[in-house]
Chains A and B, each alone.
Chain A
Amino acid sequence: MGMQDLTNIIYLIAAILFILDLKMLAHPRTAVRGNQLGALGMLLAIVATLMSGTWDWTYIILGIGIGSLIGAVAALRVKMTSMPELVGLFNGFGGAASVLVAGSALVATFNAVNAGAAGGSMQTKVATVLSGIIGSVTFFGSYVAFGKLAEFLCVKWKLHTWQKIVKYGFSLAVAGSGIWYGLTMGTNPLSITFMVSAVLIGGLLLPKKDRFPGMDLLKGLSAIASVALGVMLVLDPSNTPLFWVLVAVAGVLGVILTLSIGGADMPVVIALLNSYSGLAAAATGFVIDNTVLIIAGSLVGASGLILTKIMCKAMNRSLANVLFGTMGPTADTPDADEVYKTVKSASADEVAMTLEVAQRVSIVPGYGMAVSQAQHAVRDVANFLEDKGIEVEFAIHPVAGRMPGHMNVLLAEADVPYDKLKEMDEVNPTMEQVDVAIVLGANDVVNPVARTDPSSPIAGMPIIDVDKARTVVVIKRSLSPGFAGIPNPLFAADNTLMFFSDGKKAMLDLLAALKET
């Protein structure tokens, strides 16, 4: 058995460990071990690679060292509420790595061809193109998603200093390097396309809104241009600058695809980019003829696709509708003042008195819980109620928050046992038996209009039926609409009490009031 066979057998073991990792994620008890097995698989794959040849170790050790340090610091310091941003950012690094590996392989192969080696096969060429397109869309798309989640892209308000540095720095770097590289390539169609694309990317990220005229046209043009450039590159792979033009044009596509997706659809975007980063890795596997890249990449690609499908279903929208459609108030949306005429507001004491006599309480968290960091305070309230013999559960909508499972992670951080976290389908059938439903910073996912008004933009979206509970307490800072931009008649329902406050403060006040009575 040669060295190559041994390496491939270790790759196979690594692939099996990745599969076991994902399989063991099916239960919180086995998930920690699963994650360790995945990390072991990665270590084996790296060791097997390094065993298979002689290397220039400086670059390898330096690269792994710098990357590991940055990754470890980011992973250990990030707050649980910022998890969507971190995952978005990591997706971007994955995409960028795929682009760079494919580009590097292209340059290296071309070099080898010059030195008399055999040229790349059709497989390598096509895979290089795919890797470049998918990787670039992933990288630039992830940057936009990160910027939207960290609230420095497409927002009207004033930015913090670090946000300004990232926003303008990134735009300037992309546009600047585009112009610089374009100038060194001389005046020809390719270099002009490259410059225009890079300047477009930089410029598109500056406006304080995420929609503008001509967007769909630009989306179509950049998609067609990416494919055309891809075909050209397959026909003439020795023309390496073509690869970078391809990456730049695909970057425009990535930026526009993600820009046009609204805030409510963020969970879908994150899941979709996750899938892309996997597919980019798989494409890179075809570039360098490596099975472990293909297997790992396709597992991740499948995982992202499934999550995307689940998220779309939870919003009753098709993927095409999320990617290309717009959501917002339709012409006949009822006037907010009219809807909110009968709103009743309540104090912490009144809410506490309602809870005192309850037997079953259901808490529905939303993005507002993450923003106000209310997860620990709400756990204290839940524990206090349970000590009094009241049954408490958390009802979690699949698209609550900014990424799949966002609410669950925050509640787990606050030590809420996972068997208290109920899915929508589990809670809805027994909602009539719930005495008090507490809506904590959620809006669209509890809007009964989804069931009652077929002309509403959220018509048909599955919601948590809190309006069927005996009493509903909605904790919200104001009556402002959610992502869908429509009023919520739940707030004015006969059985609803509005508790106007920041989520965390509301929970602290409520706990104090409960202890007094």
Chain B
Amino acid sequence: MSSLIMLITVFVLAIFVGIEIITKVPPTLHTPLMSGSNAISGITIVGALILAGALEGQDLFSPLAKTMAFVAVIFASINVVGGFLVTGRMLKMFQRK
């Protein structure tokens, strides 16, 4: 099996898993669901780190690519840290009672 087909398999199966589990989230928690899933979409930080951290002489090194990836690391960190924190803040309010 080629690696592309394998990745597409992963993609399609994950979509189905997502649909199955998210259908069970009650409307009360839809806002935390959005901010929480938004934090998860900050996973692009992984790609940003690989490109921003490239050392001179490595395959992926290019000053322009590095600068762009550096900005991407900042954006993705905002997404990840802000997203998980604000979701936690909201969920604590639901948990109090």
- Interface residues, chain A, with chain B CB atoms under 8 Å away: 15, 18-19, 21-23, 25-29, 31-32, 34-36, 38-39, 41-42, 45-46, 49-50, 53-57, 59-60, 62-64, 66-68, 70-72, 74-76, 78, 80, 83, 86-87, 90-91, 93-94, 96-98, 100-101, 103-105, 107-109, 111-112, 115, 117, 121, 123, 270-271, 274, 277-278, 280-282, 284-307, 310, 396, 398, 403-406, 408-409, 412-413, 415, 417-418, 421, 423
Contact = CB atoms under 8 A, between A and B. Distances in A.
Contacts of A29: 95
A94 B79 contact: yes
Contacts of B14: 15, 294-295, 298-299, 302
A104 B65 contact: yes
B77 A67 contact: yes
A285 to B, nearest CB: 8
Contacts of A22: 18, 21-22, 25, 33, 36-37, 40
A75 B32 contact: no
A76 B87 CA distance: 10
A101 B44 contact: yes
B34 A307 contact: yes
A88 to B, nearest CB: 10
Contacts of B90: 80, 83, 409, 412
B46 to A, nearest CB: 5
Given A100-B68, A303-B33, A31 B95 contact: yes
If over half of B's interface residues share one DSSP class (helix, strand or loop), that class is named, otherwise mixed; here it is helix
If over half of A's interface residues share one DSSP class (helix, strand or loop), that class is named, otherwise mixed; here it is helix
A19 B37 CA distance: 10
Interface in B40-97: 40-56, 59-62, 64-66, 68-97
A26 B30 CA distance: 10
Given A78-B86, A280-B44, 12 more contacts: A22-B36, A25-B36, A35-B36, A39-B84, A55-B54, A56-B56, A90-B38, A93-B75, A109-B60, A300-B18, A305-B19, A405-B31
B10 A295 contact: yes
Given A57-B53, A107-B65, A32 B95 contact: yes
Nearest to A71: B82
Contacts of A75: 81-83, 85-86, 89
B31 A49 contact: no
A188 to B, nearest CB: 20
A133 to B, nearest CB: 15
B1 interface: no
Contacts of A293: 43-44, 46-47
A94 B82 contact: no
Most buried by B among A74, A121, A281, A288: A281
Nearest to A32: B91
Given A22-B21, A86-B86, A97-B76, A63 B70 contact: yes
A284 B89 contact: no
Most buried by A among B3, B76, B89: B76
B37 A26 contact: no
B7 to A, nearest CB: 6
A27 B77 CA distance: 27
Given A87-B35, A101-B72, A284 B93 contact: no
A299 B42 CA distance: 12
